[in-house]
Amino acid sequence: MRTEVAIVGAGPAGLLLSHLLARAGVESVVVESRSQEYVASRIRAGILEHSSVELLTEAGLGDRLRAEGHEHRGVYLQWPHKRHHLDFVDLAGRSVWVYGQTEVQKDLVAAHSGPVLYEVSDTRLHDLTTDRPYVTFRDRDGAAVKLEASVIAGCDGSFGPSRAAVPASARQVFERTYPYSWLGILADVAPSTDELIYAWHPDGFALHSMRSETVSRLYLQVPNGTDAAAWSDAQVWDELAKRLGHGQDGWTLAPGPITDKSVLPMRSFVQTPMRYGRLFLAGDAAHIVPPTGAKGLNLAIADVALLSRALIALVKERDAGPADRYSDDALRRVWRCTHFSWWMTTMLHASGDPFDAELQLSQLRWVTTSIAGATGLAENYAGLPI
Ligand code: DHB
């Protein structure tokens, strides 16, 4: 098989890239190790930055998002006995949208027209520093396939073969682990809040998010190594009620049937550069952020916006300039979001150290009472222009 762009991974980064390339008349083939059902049902974050919404809309993917998603002006930041609303529209002129990554994925699958080969195995990348790179794999029936391309896009997340195909001598890895995880639940209950609540609490962080008028998504900081099954539904709701301030100033948390319960690890990771010869990395294949602030999908969308333009210039106009600048350009936003996600995480999670706790409370008072502090958070949360 031969194509212009071989895309490894059919998550949001891979499918969006293929979609943007197709709109410019550039052919691609997408290969994916999982099944279409598996990829579409993975639960991920649900906040889209202003510029992600703009890009999806320009790409013809905004109809259901605008009809079924919810525009939020800001978020609540709270700690015991205090809840503050930060209005991103007033502070930074931009809103955010609540629309699950699962829904973005469904919209991408519905809009996508080119070939996507699901359930492939043994995917390997070859000859990346030549002008004839190729991917080999076994298709779902076990037949060996060689896919030749002009360039390869690695959109296959942190466990895929693309990142690992860059030799150790040609990459630098930056990493930070955190001494806590999140227990996340989905529940069939109307959200108890109009906009998201990020709650600092001495017993650990809690977040009240949502997916729709009838589905809530909530998270609790838990120790690393926690088994989700060890938490009963009643325990989860009790802990959420305590940390989110049930009963304070007349606010109540409505519990409901939990339909999913899982533990999310927290990690910061960046691999540079985001290019090796004819291989370009985008999304989680190049970087991971901890979930606080919901940057993962937004960063993948921003990478793909840049990469699609670079590959269109390369393939259609034989202009290598944007492709040569891709890694540096993408990494500026990656590091901004890596810092923001690390900062939100370390500001909001209990470490057990009373010195940390006082610094966190001081920081929270500053971002909720100083226009400068609040604007910095708002600009980063609602997202910088792509
Ligand atoms: C969600 C996840 C986040 O990490 C976050 O900061 C906000 C919302 C979510 O899953 O809805």
Annotate 140-197 with DSSP letters as a single string.
TTS-EEEEE-SEEEE-STTTSHHHHTS-GGG-EEEEEE-S-EEEEEEESS--SSSS-E
Other Cβ atoms within 10 Å of 260 Cβ, number: 11
Length of the chain: 386
CA-closest residue to ligand 1 atom 1: 45
Per-residue pLDDT of the chain in tens (386 residues, 90 and over written 9): 999 999 999 999 999 999 999 999 999 999 999 999 999 888 888 899 999 999 999 999 999 999 999 999 999 999 999 999 999 999 999 999 999 999 999 999 999 989 999 999 999 999 999 999 999 999 999 999 999 999 999 999 999 999 999 999 999 999 999 999 999 999 999 999 999 999 999 999 999 999 999 999 999 999 999 999 999 999 999 999 999 999 999 999 999 999 999 999 999 999 999 999 999 999 999 999 999 999 999 999 999 999 999 999 999 999 999 999 999 999 999 999 999 999 999 999 999 999 999 999 999 999 999 999 999 999 999 998 88
Query: Taking the domains of the chain in order of start, what are their residue ranges?
Result: 5-69+99-174+267-345, 178-266+351-382
Active-site annotation holds for 198: yes
List 208, 287, 295, 349, catalytic entry: 295
Nearest to 256 by CA among 288, 289, 223, 210: 210
CB of 209 sitting under 6 A from ligand 1 = yes
Domain 178-266+351-382 sits in CATH at 3.30.9.10
CB of 101 sitting under 6 A from ligand 1 = no
Distances (CA, A) of 25 to 5, 18, 65, 135, 232: 12, 10, 25, 22, 52
Which tens digit of pLDDT belongs to each residue from 80-97? 999 999 999 999 999 999
Which residue out of 207, 244, 342 has the highest number of ligand 1 atoms within 8 Å of its CB and is therefore the one to mutate? 207
Nearest to 349 by CA among 295, 366, 341: 341
Give the CA count within 13 Å in the CB-facing half-sphere of 288. 19
CB of 292 sitting under 6 A from ligand 1 = yes
CB 281 within 8 A of CB 272: no
Which tens digit of pLDDT belongs to each residue from 366-378? 999 999 999 999 9
Q: What is the dihedral of CA 246, 247, 248, 254, to 10 degrees?
A: 40
CB 229 within 8 A of CB 254: no
Nearest to 266 by CA among 180, 174, 156, 158: 180
- Which amino acid is it at 355? F
Q: How far is ligand 1, taken at its centre, from the CA of residue 211, in Å? A: 10
Q: What superfamily would CATH give domain 5-69+99-174+267-345?
A: FAD/NAD(P)-binding domain (3.50.50.60)
Q: Which two tokens stand for residue 9?
A: 């991974």
